[in-house]
Structure 1
Amino acid sequence: MHTRARGNIAEERGCEYLRKNGFRIIDRNVYNRFGEIDIIALRDDVIHFVEVKSAQTYEQAVNNITPSKLQKLHRTIQTYLQQKRLNLDYCIDALIVYDEVLELIENITL
């Protein structure tokens, strides 16, 4: 299976997981000149920008979240918030998908 196809499956599973845990999905696969946001969800008046990472092991997936990736994500988020004229609290989350396991790590930082 191609990487993009695996990523799409992981994102679908991630959306289901988030919905079951009280999130409302408001956007997906948002692109701008700085990068991509996999999933944008809302819970308790906080916007969650969710980076989905899938791999064969937890460690491989987590290690794919680099400082460079987070910097690009921050720029992408700022552009998104400005374009949508949103002024809500937000955080960046990582949704780690490996084997049949999904694990949400909320509020990751540099």
Structure 2
Amino acid sequence: MSRAAGDIAEKAAADFLSAKGCRIVARNVNSRFGEIDIIAENEGVLHFVEVKSGRGFEPIYNITPSKLAKLIRTIEWYVQKYAIKMPYQLDALIVRGEECEWVENITL
């Protein structure tokens, strides 16, 4: 997928989360371990959201074990760097055209 298509999917995901009552804290947070697409707060929980999109296949399958490990390391870095004290979780947000599906707590 092109960077432009990824940007469109991330904007759709951020708009979707905002419509669900989330406050977008940050987007495209980079560390030496990897990138977090969206960080959002909702009802006292910080959501680290990996956005996946695509056509002709199930995008969530692009979250591989190695990708998951990078995301977890990046989240740990962010939590330590910003001294986060609130509960947090890792979510996926799947964008299929105009449709968005929020899959919460993908590490359980």
Report the TM-score range of the alignment, normalised by the length of the smaller protein: over 0.9
Aligned length: 108
Q: How does 1:1-110 map to 2 (within 5 A)?
A: 3-57=2-56, 59=58, 61-109=59-107
TM-score by length of 1: 0.93
Aligned-residue CA RMSD (Å): 1.2
Supply the AA of the counterpart residue of 1:98. Answer: R
CA offsets 1:66-95 (integer angstroms, 9 cap, x no match) = 111111000000001111111111111100
Supply the AA of the counterpart residue of 1:80. Answer: Y
> Secondary structure, in 3 states, of the residue corresponding to 2:66?
helix
> Secondary structure, in 3 states, of the residue corresponding to 1:9?
helix
Point out where structure 2 has 5 or more consecutive residues left out of the alignment.
Answer: none
Supply the AA of the counterpart residue of 1:68. Answer: S
Whole-Å Cα distance in 1 between the matches of residues 17 and 40 of structure 2? 8
* Percentage of identical aligned residues: 54
Which portions of structure 1, spanning 4 or more consecutive aligned residues, are displaced by more than 2 angstroms? Answer: none
